[in-house]
Chains A and B, each alone.
Chain A
Amino acid sequence: MNRPIRRVAIALGVLFAAIFVNLNFVQVVKSDEYRNHVGNKRVLLNEYASPRGQIVVQGTAIALSKQTSDELKYLRTYPQGELYAPVTGFYSYVYGRSGIEESEDKVLSGDDPRLFGTQLGSLLTGRNPKGGSIQLTLNKAAQAAAYSAMKGADGKMRRGAVVALDPTTGAILAAVSTPSYDPNELSSHNANTMERAWSKLNDNPAKPMLNRAFNELYAPGSVFKVIVSAAALSDPAAKITPDTRVPAPNGYWPFDPKKTSACPNDPTSSCVKNFDGETCDNGKTATLAFALAKSCNTAFAALAVDKLGGQRIADQAKLFGFGDPYTGDPPDLCHPPALNVPLPVCTSTVGSTGDLTDKGSLSHTSFGQQDVRITPLQAAMISAAVANNGSLMKPYLVAKELSPNLSTLSQTEPTQLSQALDPDLDTDLQEMMEGVVTAPEGTGGAARISDIPGVVVGGKTGTADTGIFVNGKETPPHAWFSGFALQNGAPKIAVAVIIENGGVNGNETTGGLAAAPVAKAVMEAYLKSGGGH
């Protein structure tokens, strides 16, 4: 009987081998597929099984995990959801993550390899590791002031963005995008709540989930004149100072610079006129400082076309943080991002190389129309560099990454992106921008801060045509302000504000009217709070 017994043993061996092969198939080959299958709750349970780290602003958690009694043990909550939503983002098991939740996910979830050492103990016992915390550079007072200042006179939130920077470090002090949304709803454990909020937000034409501060590109309008001014001051051949009188006719004909007659009432004409057809100084020439303060379009168009040329302006813009001019079709300016702060920031551009060589296009580029597009962060970077002796610092939002036991994993060291302007020349430009706020002809008077001693404000307004026509009528222009505050000569804060489509009185809006008061509110709140982050 031993022979059949041996044969049965061999047959059983084959069966065991089949099990072994199949187990390898299930646990190795198909492992990832099964692990990540939508029907498998384990990944979700594990992700929510340990407390995620906090996102902290000046000692206050703006995103934190609360223990619940349901299956997903920790709920992500945002105590001041709408105020900080553009920064924190949301944390949803259906829609994924955004904002800092996304870009700092490794630290917050505890998966970061740098946390390995501190978590070795918990690894050994198999307990889920806790997440580390993220300390942001935001300033509570500046952020809150910016958000509430974006509320219009009618009580409704205006569309737009505010970004404030510490000019000396690049630390982002405020990043507001309005209208905002409540990340608590998207981070809910209730799928219905989540889905309802998601579709409501996506159907909203105001695009509340768009982070306008970093990811929307606008025509900068006259704010761009700061860059043209910098290019003019630093141009060795032109030899221009703030007091140099430059041509400032009532009408500038880019293809015939000799011609000084006023522009015809023809929107297709290449002739450049001043805002509202106003006269600049004596109607013939004006000092560069005056032209900036009064925001004369013709003076900058003439400078760009006849003195500087497009390449010179593009080079100067690049020193302020812009991308290279593009050829042909506009590329996807947001992918890849120009900067990661660590939120991705879209690339600001002066337009195409064609815009810079064609005189007609260049004349409009000089005052921030045509294809010039910038992010509100970029607008703030321009003022920050001017305030900081021409030195442009790399913007950043994360001050520190902390381990769960609050030891520092990393601390962001300020880094210089470029020297946008020679410090001597920068002093000239700084004074010119102060003139925009203080000079009688200045358009930015609304940003002046008079009740804090030693504070000087400089800036530039912008009123950017949208180029979008509805029923044959152009939609109201965007109102811009980009500026800075010095206290006792030291740069304290740079801020940029954009309010989409006016926000004051329809077409009557200007940057000085609508955006400058918001900038003032932010700077004042920051200076009064004593600064810091």
Chain B
Amino acid sequence: MTVPAALKIPTRRGSELLMLVFAVLLVVAAEADVEATRDGHISSRLITYAAVPIVVGLVTHLVIRRVAPYADPLLLPIVVLLNGLGLVMIHRLDLGLKQQAAQSGDTFNNPAAPTQVVWTAIGVALFIVLIVLIRDHRVLQRYAYTLALAGLFFLVLPAVLPASMSEVNGARIWIRVAGFSIQPGEFAKILLTIFGAAYLVAKRDVLSLAGKRVGFSIRSRFIGFDLPRGRDFGPLLLAWLLCIAVLVRGRDLGTSLMFFGLFVVLLYVATERAGWVVVGIALFAVGAYLAYQVFGTVQTRVEVWLHPFAPLTSAQLAQGIDPGYQLRQSLFSLGTGGIFGSGLGNGHPELVPLPATDFIVSAFGEEIGLFGLVGILVLYALFVVRGIASALAVRDAFGKLLAMGLSFLVALQLFVVVAGVTRLLPETGLTTPFLSYGGSSLIGSYALLALLLRVSDAARRPATVPPAKAKETVPA
């Protein structure tokens, strides 16, 4: 009995399972550390927090085994580890905030960790639906415009809702219904990535036609770049305008930066013309300048970024506002953690406002130090590298753009967040994928994972094996 050569390509599902075991062990150890430090003993809560990565890992692993057997084996364990560590930190911050409340005589009664477990469950459910329904990522191309419409709908929705249902901390980017809040921009990001990839695959030939050359020649070697043709300029301009619109509507620097970066990169990858990047950066600069001129919030963010330790003005003192407080607390948190950190549960990351969402990176930096934080960054780097590897390996242009776009989203978002909390760039207010507290962020991230796994499955699948069909059973 001979097995076709193509089938010998290993699926690596065993490696995935092994790494999942490691991920679960790490999460359990982290939670045990938190409990031992905070309470002096390990409680039965440990079972709850251990169960999350075990169930998530096991269920998703089994589903992948079934419907995407050639998928990249590294992506899922990284996500389970990040999600698990995030949950541990969110729980730890709950304990810190609870203590803080008790000391000031208040009661703390909305712990974030249980809700995050619910969000994780919903995220995993969506993951399963997506990866089971979409057996071939190329199917998505067909629905590109529908998805784009849905994305725009999500983007616009908070703007048309009354402020009471959409505004949190001054930014109108939420939908708040029945005690739940969702940031639809998180889903719009992914929908628009799909659309962008599909659109550019269709139009790349037109867009890559050279326009004017900018540069000079030395000994017949041209140095410079080709500008795109004016009439193909449309998509970029559209993206730019969309970003300005997002910014105007929701005062949301982070999301508009994400959108714009995504479009520029997709354009560049699709057309292979560096000119788009130059034009894109120029447009971004113009947009940023305009935003700075028009919006007080942007000016404040930049001012805080430049002078976080500047004494408050008399007007600020009179109004009792301190815009630099958060960044300073973040720097104190990171600086106090130093190289090795205070140990999980032993620092004071709860002193930083919004510690579980925008500043969860500072919380990790304080308690597990530079070493631990770099470890987490390496996990993200691996995730992005594996995503890009799939983009390189997959055979269809749409898949390449999609995988690239999704990987880039994760990388850019992480960069913007970490650069913001460490004062490399002005703070923009984004969550950290998989790590931060928040339903939309987590669910969106699991959707992203499903799509990326789907592309990676296609990338590693031997050419002779057709994509798995819903009812097909793989012969043993």
Contacts and interface: CB of A to CB of B under 8 A. Distances in A.
B174 interface: no
B334 A27 contact: yes
Contacts of B392: 2, 5-6
B252 interface: no
A66 interface: no
Contacts of B102: 69
Contact of B348 (A5, A16, A31, A45): A45
Interface in A18-33: 18-20, 22-24, 26-28, 30-33
Contact of A34 (B103, B268, B332): B332
B40 A26 contact: no
Contacts of A19: 377, 415, 418-419, 422, 424
A8 B405 CA distance: 11
Interface string B397-416: 10011001000100110010
A126 B343 contact: yes
B365 interface: yes
A127 B105 CA distance: 24
A20 B415 contact: no
B36 interface: yes
A32 B419 CA distance: 20
Interface string B333-368: 111111100111111100100000000000001000
Nearest to B276: A4
A3 interface: yes
Contacts of B408: 8, 12
B424 A18 contact: yes
Interface stretch (B67-75, B380-388, B438-446, B454-462): B380-388
B374 A23 contact: yes
A36 to B, nearest CB: 9
B272 A23 contact: no
B397 A34 contact: no
Contact of A27 (B105, B328, B338, B401): B338
A126 B401 contact: no
A31 B335 contact: yes
B93 interface: no
A37 interface: yes
Contacts of A23: 334, 365, 370, 373-374, 377, 418, 422
Interface string A107-127: 000000000000000000111
A40 B374 contact: no
A298 B337 CA distance: 71
A127 B388 CA distance: 43
Contact of B335 (A9, A26, A69): A26
B335 A33 contact: yes
A34 B336 contact: yes
Given A12-B384, A37-B332, A70-B103, A5 B422 contact: no
A307 interface: no
B388 A26 contact: no
B91 to A, nearest CB: 16
Contact of A125 (B40, B411, B412, B424): B40
A286 B351 CA distance: 79
A335 interface: no
A71 interface: yes
Given A4-B269, A19-B419, A34 B335 contact: yes
Interface in A38-90: 39-43, 45, 69-71
A34 B418 CA distance: 18
B328 A39 contact: yes
A73 B329 CA distance: 21
Instruction: Among B336, B370, B408, find the residue whose CB has the most chain A CB atoms closer than 10 A.
Output: B336
Nearest to A68: B103
A71 B104 contact: yes
A371 B408 CA distance: 81
Contacts of B418: 19, 23
Nearest to A37: B332
A1 interface: yes
B369 interface: yes
A26 B373 CA distance: 12
Contacts of B334: 23, 26-27, 34
Contacts of B50: none
B186 interface: no
A22 B377 contact: no
Nearest to A2: B392
B270 interface: yes
B422 A26 contact: yes
A428 B20 CA distance: 89
Contact of A71 (B33, B103, B344): B103
Contacts of B336: 31, 34-35, 40, 42-43
Nearest to B370: A27
A112 to B, nearest CB: 20
Nearest to A27: B370
Contacts of A468: none
Contacts of A262: none
A490 interface: no
B37 interface: yes
Contacts of B272: 1, 3-4
Contacts of A12: 384, 388, 408, 411-412, 415
Contacts of B268: 4, 8
Given A5-B269, A19-B419, A45-B348, A27 B404 contact: no
B321 to A, nearest CB: 16
B331 interface: yes
Instruction: Among A1, A30, A128, find the residue whose CB has the most chain B CB atoms closer than 10 A.
Output: A1
B400 A1 contact: yes
Contacts of A69: 102-103, 105
A34 B338 CA distance: 10
Contacts of A26: 331, 334-335, 365, 422-423
A54 to B, nearest CB: 22
B183 to A, nearest CB: 24
Nearest to B33: A126
A450 to B, nearest CB: 60
A16 B40 contact: no
Given A5-B404, A23-B374, 4 more contacts: A12-B411, A35-B335, A40-B335, A42-B332
18 contacts: A9-B385, A15-B412, A16-B377, A16-B381, A16-B415, A19-B422, A23-B365, A23-B377, A26-B365, A30-B331, A31-B339, A34-B332, A34-B335, A35-B335, A42-B336, A42-B348, A71-B100, A125-B36
Closest 5 CB pairs of A and B: A34-B335, A126-B343, A40-B332, A126-B346, A126-B37
